[in-house]
A and B are shown apart, each in its own frame.
Chain A
Amino acid sequence: MKPAAFDYVHCETLDEAAEMIAQTGDDARILAGGQSLVAMLNMRLATPTVLVDVMPAQDARKVAADNGTLKISAAVRQASLLDDPNLTSRNPLLAQMLPWVGHPQTRARGTLCGSVAHADPSAEIPLALAALDGTVILRRGRKRRSVKATDFFLGMMLTDKADDEMIEAVTFADVEQGTGTGFAEVGRRKGDFAIVACAALISPKRVRLAVGGVNDTPFVKDWDTLSPQDEGEALNALAWSLDARGDLHATARYRRDLVRHLGAKALKEARTCAD
């Protein structure tokens, strides 16, 4: 369980990191918090020949609130965002979900952009990004492009990011006043990957439920309205419409059941705080 050999590149700016990745492409990987990547390296599921450490870059540590979004740069750790006293008022859903990401010992190192790059179908941060109309800002050298979260995740640990691109930042839309939010998750152990996780947003205009852990990518369902009487049927239809499969951790039937129960729980919480 030791990584294969690689060159380590210590970057002081995002420009340096983007340039390095653009030049080296497939053979290089960005090293951020390392909480997913280093495990993959240790198990030799990934064997890059160059690791480009973006954490020393001062300009990659920015959290910027502008234009109704929260923009999180490549080296922002999960714990540092969670410690932000303004997070709950600005984005209550993100504040509800982040404590479910890993353990205190992994959040102290792990980054938001790193979790998005890893794209585990059960992970909370990709789910939050999909639920909150997020975007991923990709960089190839000096060229940038912005991809919607729903277009970014293509499959299990598969994204729209090309080998010579890096994630410079991700943005989450702010939760508007009058919108209620809720989150519910079931896993084997607190902090493990979710078997199923549901995030809900209820505004006067829309009811949204985002489901992680079932399909290969976060799934977002919107209803114009959803009365509590119709909810059971709607959640049942949603559960059957998803591509639930059985594996070592849970059967397909159990996953569908979790969608019904956790969906109802998240919607109830969102309704309570919207009132």
Chain B
Amino acid sequence: MSIRHGLLALLERGPRYGSQLRTEFESRTGSTWPLNVGQVYTTLSRLERDGLVAQDGEDDQGHALYSISDAGRTELRAWFETPVDRTNPPRDELAIKLAMAVGAPGVDIRAVIQAQRHHTVKAMQDYTRLKAQSLGQAPANRDEVAWLLVVEQLIFQAEAEARWLDHCESRLIRLAEAAATEPEPGPPPGAAARTAGRSRTRR
């Protein structure tokens, strides 16, 4: 839904044509999530079908312009006012991978964690260079400020992942240490009772 609402947000600033919307969406988000023009026009026609935008003549160069309708403005306001839903999180490949790695034969889970940590920290180094470059030029307009927020979101998200990996590792170490200091487990309780029963019978 973010493309749909993203386009509505851009149209609220005045009528625009398709490829202009694409360019503006990408400069806001630093091309983090590139759009193709086809996606833009498909989205525009759905928005038009739903009465949220309307075709609004042409500019001097013959580009078909779209503008936001009152219903579109209401929809946009509702989007800004409604939190993004986190109650139904998308599948996370890394969480699934670690869950499967616990106790998997032949898998060194600490090596899995370190390989991911390496990759995540490396990505953070890349994002941080992007951010330093952006800060070095002092964000001058709203597109640059918006892009800075997006790149910082990437950094914070990667940081959360790196911290979670640290946590997983220390938890696994603690559990392994606890397991090592526990006395040798005896036979399961049922088995013990059965054995005891048998020996009593023998006696």
User: Do A and B come from the same complex?
Assistant: no
Residues on A lying within 8 angstroms of B by beta carbon are: none
Residues on B lying within 8 angstroms of A by beta carbon are: none
